[in-house]
Amino acid sequence: MSTVVEHVTCPFCGCLCDDLTVEAEGVEIRKVRLACSSGQGIFMDYDPRPRRPLVDGREVEWENAVAEAASILSAADSPLIYGLSSSASEAQRKAVALADRIGAVIDSTSSVCHGPTGLAMQAVGEPTCTLGEVRDRADLLVFWGCNPDASHLRHFPRFSLTAKGALTPNGRADRTVYVVDVRPTGSSKKADHFLQVDVGSDFEVLTTLRLLVKGKEPSVDTVGGVPVAQLKELVERMKSCRYGVAFMGMGLTMAPARQLNVAELFTLVAELNEFAKFSVLPMRGHGNVTGADQVLSWTTGYPFAVSFARGYPQFSPGEFSAVDMLARRAADAAVIIASDPGAHFPAAAAAHLERIPTIVLDHGPSVVASHARVVFPTAAYGVDAAGTAYRMDNVPIPLKRVISTGRLTDEEILDRIIEAVA
Amino acid sequence: MMLGILGGRIYDPRNSKDGEVGDIWVKDGRVVTPEDVDQKAAQTVDATGLVVMPGGVDIHAHIVGSEVNSGRKMRPEDHRGHERARSGGLRAGAGGTVPSTYLTGYLYSELGYTTVMQASAAPLVVRHTHEELEDVPNLDKGAFIVMGNNHFVMQCIADKQPEKARDYVAWLLGASRGYAIKIVNPGGVENWKWGKNVAELDDEVIGYGVTPRQIVQTLATIADDLGLPHPVHIHGINLGRHTSARTTVEMIAALDGHRVHLCHIQFLSYGAGRGHVHRSEAVAVAAAVNASSGVTVDIGQVIFGNATTMTCDGPLQYGLHLTTGNKWINDDVEGESGGGIVPITYKPGNPINGTMWLTGLELFLLIDDPWRVFLSTDHPNAGPFTSYPQVIRLLMDRDYRREMFESLHPRARRGALLPDLDREYSLGEIAVISRAGPARALGLEHKGHLGVGADADVAVYEECADKEAMFSRPRYVYKGGELVARDGAVVADVAGRTFSVAPQYDAGLEVELREYFKKAYTVSFDNYSALSGHGAPTEIVACG
């Protein structure tokens, strides 16, 4: 039976493009229209075959896998729940319920990408806007430490660089575009101006911009490798634009000074509002990493790195963030949801994951699944499961089920585990 | 389940009970006649000597959704020291001025409240609002949908197409599973996207040529035409400014003949005072409210201590950021709204804060009809809802009120009317402003009273001289006939309902909206509705 589903949301990145059309023949996806190459991969490479759960690498019945997971978690003194960013908010809510029930530490991939952005927001706030405001109003764009040309492939045409909107009918021609980064990128080649900052010097450059916005004169000609004259030109454009927007990425969050870089940029943007309307948006990566922040915040008050070990939520990045929990050997069991820390974590943290009993929920193979005690093969949200995800600008968008494979969702499996540990 | 709450002093203003001793019988979540229950099989509670009221109804609070959650995320310092550990079937949480969702439900239960209305939601992000509402237990709820800066509405007004605007509003309420039309700083939020604001009812909205006056009149007319259970719910222009009392009185005049609810009017009742300190214009605003029978208000009483200001009124929040120097979130929402968040601490020693505090109390005491003035702190803007018992004591106890007045900065006290106001609210009047009145203004027939057919939402208090203590610690609280709190502590987690409206509209409009969405939004028309995909169903309240 062939089906055509319209207005499908791609769950790959924080853009959550929701204008795709997917054609399928039974459970085989045949064609995806409008998706970028990353999005094509999500749908076209999807393996819809039913799979059974594994315990110690052997196929078992579902109830046996659930019982094994419950027994691991019941025996654990300090369990860790991690991942969440490629799951749906419905499942994220269940993950927090499980953490609450078993006194776990829960953390999302935020802590290794835009965690510092969250800390900066907690320190100084965040003047921001939805992506439609960028498309419709922005006449000045500044991309700092991010490269959407490689990471968010439809960001430029849908929302920013070339997007046409109410006050920007000519798209690219109606905008001035800056890229600030430590090296030339695909994005910098498409910009009007590229400011190349010395590695580790973003904070100095941002501080200098704040100084110039305040009308003060730096005593040097170059800051962080950038001529002050170029910074002055940027400041003049920022102060005189109609609607300016800065996008920032891990070039700021994972460089030295981390959240201090981001707080400096957010403060600069706030201060610019004295002269011109100005907003800033973090370029959130995974499809629903923004949702993980949202769900943790509404259920616990804190966006990531939350511990329920004492019965109530405690927030401590650096202590309850997953890398730190593992590298310090502070976790004695782990539930990994739709993420692969086995492949992406520092060696000491990844090595500890191999030592402790680990339960993995994922729709495909992963390094962490290859040595997990229990593996639950799941449906993929946006492909064979429906749910909700939050776009990088915090707009919630429905994820559709475009094929019906009968696979269980993260939500359903977490429900069974919660019931079994009760 | 059958239940009898026997021998209590019943304060049920809608059914004209003002402390009469009597019994309340409950079956299947509703109040029934004694004959409807098998009294031998029913569980009974001896309420002799206790005060029995309907569960509290909050007509205006910010408890869930996009801006509330940004406030939670931004303020770890607000939560610490206010945590709640899991226990039994109850979830853990973090409190403060912006509590987590489960704890929000529990804290309301612990005050005797059973119904709360989420004061604002932009339709683009209302799916988020509904997700959080599902995670707020022990309360029945609804969400007001912001429309006062909506591009489609403003274009209809500019094109002189009021019927199309009406169809759109009806569609939008249904699509967003909303309960009422909310207006926030009409036109001012749109102008803020240009770094500007509006200051007068006849100022122009940039790009549309319409005025705040036209926006409120159009939407008030639509609410009346559609027969919505709750009228337009308005946060006016100039909030916090010394011109606000004048424009509030002008707003009331502009909406003469309509039903209208003006929210947190304390923030909109100031005039120019000496030395850059606003003065209370409660007399003028209360007079205008008293003279206009179609108007209801809630106060937004300031509570001294920590608060988190959060509104769709973006330019207001920016001003507050500049004034306080505190951290600031702004969020412009395409095509429809905006918003901002700034933490604040209200101090009696601050002359402006003192003026705000006494303005709220003067309004409470000068508005004659308790059925048209409701208890609120515009949670968490003027203070947290957990301070409602303190406000009740301020209204019922003039000595306490005067004592607190004396702690204000001299410049706030100078020339103030408050110490001369002797009025004290009775228990029956408290039951009106916190239960019966808001339920009536919301058009919730089953709420705010204990007559046969009402939802069995009941709060039982032990009367004592200190009314703050009394209302802080209800002996029993029932939600739909189930015991959810006892002796001021939550004991159960039960699911609440979400109310919404679904007025009729010309379905032909959707063809135009499909085209409109392609240009106006970054989300597909089909993915915009809160109804798309799954999610808990809402309970439709009839229009009529």
Over residues B322-341, the pLDDT tens digits come to: 999 999 999 999 999 999 99
pLDDT at B64 over 80: yes
Give the residue from B324, B523, B525, B529 with the most A CB atoms within 10 Å of its CB, the best one to mutate. B523
Judged by CB atoms closer than 8 Å, whether chains meet at B86 and A312 is answered as yes
Answer whether residue B18 shows pLDDT above 90: yes
Spell out the residues 6+ positions from residue B138 whose beta carbon is closer than 8 angstroms to its own.
Answer: B105, B106, B108, B109, B114, B479, B484, B490, B492, B493, B494, B496
Q: What is the DSSP string of A240-284?
A: H-SEEEEEE-HHHHSSTTHHHHHHHHHHHHHHHTTTSEEEEEE--
Residues from chain B that touch A159, judged by Cβ atoms under 8 A, are: 522
Collect all residues of chain B within an 8 Å Cβ-Cβ radius of residue A395. Answer: 124-125, 522-523
> How far is residue B475's CA from residue B458's CA, in Å, rounded to a whole number?
11
> Which residues are CB-neighbours of B222 under 8 A, at least 6 positions away?
B162, B165, B166, B169, B181
Q: Which residues contact B194 (CB under 8 A, 6 or more apart)?
A: A242, A277, B206
End-to-end distance of chain A based on CA atoms, in angstroms? 42
Using CA atoms, how far apart are residues B377 and B384, in angstroms rounded to an integer? Answer: 7
Instruction: List, as ranges, residues 284-323 from B with C-beta within 8 Å of A.
Output: 318, 321
Give the per-residue pLDDT at B277. Answer: 81
Mean pLDDT of B520-533: 86
Question: Mean pLDDT across the stretch A253-280?
Answer: 97
Measured CA to CA, the distance from residue B319 to residue A274 in angstroms comes to 10
A115-282 placed in CATH 3.40.228.10: yes
Beta partners for A20? A8
Q: Does A117 touch chain B (CB under 8 A)?
A: no
Q: Can you give the pLDDT at residue A77?
A: 98
**Three-class DSSP category at B33:** coil
Q: Are B119 and B141 in contact (CB under 8 A)?
A: no
Contact pairs from chain A to chain B, CB under 8 Å: 184
At B537, the pLDDT band (50, 70, 90 cuts) reads confident
Mention every residue, 6+ apart, whose C-beta is less than 8 A from residue B465.
Answer: none
Residues shown for chain B? 544
Residue intervals in chain A for CATH 3.40.50.740: 52-112+287-421
User: What pLDDT shows up at residue B536?
Assistant: 65
B1 pLDDT tier (thresholds 50, 70, 90): confident
Looking at CATH, the fold of the domain delimited by B59-84+91-446+493-499 is given as: TIM Barrel (3.20.20)
Percent of chain B with pLDDT over 90: 96
Say if CB A234 and CB A137 are below 8 A apart.
no
Mean pLDDT, residues B376-398 taken together: 98
Residue B534 pLDDT exceeds 60: no
Of B100, B125, B520, the CB nearest to A298: B100
Assigned token pair, A190: 């498409």
Give me the sign of the Cα torsion angle B219, B225, B226, B232: positive
**Tens digit of each residue's pLDDT (9 = 90 or more) over B150-201:** 999 999 999 999 999 999 999 999 999 999 999 999 999 999 999 999 999 9
pLDDT of residue A8 exceeding 80, the answer is yes
User: Of the candidates A9, A118, A243, which has its C-beta nearest B73's C-beta?
Assistant: A118
Q: What is the pLDDT of residue B496?
A: 95
Residues of chain A with Cβ-Cβ distance to B100 below 8 Å are: 297-301, 313
C-beta atoms of A276 and B195 within 8 A = yes
Query: Are the C-beta atoms of residues B316 and B185 closer than 8 Å to each other?
Result: yes
Instruction: Tell if the CB–CB gap between A125 and B519 is shorter than 8 Å.
Output: no
Residue of B nearest to A135 (CA): B522
Using DSSP's 3-state secondary structure scheme, residue B92 falls into coil
B84–chain A Cβ distance below 8 A for any pair: yes
Mean pLDDT rounded to a whole number for chain A: 97
For chain B, give every domain's residue range: 59-84+91-446+493-499
What is the CA angle B366-B370-B375, rounded to 5?
90
> Distance between CA A376 and CA A50 in Å, rounded?
11
Picking from B281-285, B302-306, B508-512, B539-543, which range would have the lowest pLDDT averaged per residue? B539-543
Q: Which tokens go with A403? A: 């094929």
Q: Min CA distance, B245 vs chain A (Å)? A: 27
- Residues of chain A contacting B101 with CB distance shorter than 8 Å: 298-299
Say what the pLDDT of residue B544 is.
Answer: 79
Tell me which residue in A19, A301, A302 faces B524 most closely, judged by beta carbons.
A19
Reply yes or no on whether the pLDDT at B376 is more than 70: yes
Phi-psi category of A60—alpha, beta or left, where left has phi over 0 and alpha has psi -120 to 50? Answer: beta
> Closest approach of chain A CAs to the CA of B495, in angstroms?
15
Give the pLDDT confidence score for residue B535 in this predicted structure: 62
The average pLDDT across B223-233 equals 98
Residue B276 — pLDDT band, cuts 50, 70, 90? confident
- Chain B positions touching A398 (Cβ under 8 A) are 127, 527, 532-533
The four Cα atoms A161, A164, A166, A170 give a dihedral, to 10 degrees, of 90
In the stretch 224-243 of chain A, residues with CB closer than 8 A to chain B read: 242-243
Q: Which residues of B are less than 8 Å from A387 in CB distance?
A: 533-534
Q: What's the CA angle centered on B176, arms B172 and B177, to 5 degrees?
A: 115
For residues B459 and B388, the answer to whether their CB atoms sit within 8 Å is no
Which residues sit opposite B415 in a β-bridge? none
Q: How many angstroms away from the CA of B315 is the closest CA of chain A?
A: 11
Tell me the pLDDT of chain B averaged across its residues: 96
Q: What is the pLDDT of residue B532?
A: 64
Choice among A304-308, B370-374, B450-454, B527-531 with the minimum mean pLDDT: B527-531
Q: What is the CATH number of domain A52-112+287-421?
A: 3.40.50.740
3-state helix, strand, coil in chain A (%, to 5): 40, 25, 35
Contact criterion met (CB below 8 Å) for B311 and B331:
no
- Hey, is A38 helix, strand or coil? helix
Residue from A152, A300, A307, A390 whose CB has the most chain B CBs within 10 Å, to mutate: A300
Q: What is the mean pLDDT of residues B451-457?
A: 98
Q: How many helices (H) and strands (E) does chain A have?
A: 18, 22
Q: Which residue of B has its CA nearest to A94?
A: B135
Residue type, A50: P
Residue A83 falls in which region: left (phi positive, over 0), alpha (psi -120 to 50) or beta:
left
Q: Does A291 touch chain B (CB under 8 A)?
A: no
Give the separation between CA A385 and CA B461, rounded to whole angstroms: 48
* Domain boundaries for CATH 3.40.228.10 within chain A: 115-282
Give the confidence band of A401 by pLDDT, cuts at 50, 70, 90. very high
**Pairwise CA distance, residues B402 & B421, whole Å:** 10
Residue in chain B lying closest to A274 (CA): B195
Per-residue pLDDT reduced to its tens digit, B31-51: 999 999 998 999 999 999 999
Q: Which of A303, A311, A387 sits opposite B73 (nearest CB)?
A: A303
Can you read off the two tokens belonging to residue B306?
């920590």
Task: Evaluate whether B482 touches B496 at the Cβ level (below 8 Å).
Answer: no
pLDDT band at A422 (very low <50, low <70, confident <90, very high): confident
CA separation for the pair A219, A69 (Å, rounded):
62
Residue A226 pairs in a beta bridge with: A223
> What mean pLDDT is predicted for residues A19-26?
97
Using 50, 70 and 90 to split pLDDT, how confident is the model at B274?
confident
Q: Which residues of A touch B72 (CB under 8 A)?
A: 297-298, 301
B36 touches chain A (CB under 8 A): no
Query: Are the C-beta atoms of residues B89 and B137 closer than 8 Å to each other?
Result: no
Helix spans in B27-161 (H): 66-74, 76-79, 101-109, 126-134, 151-158
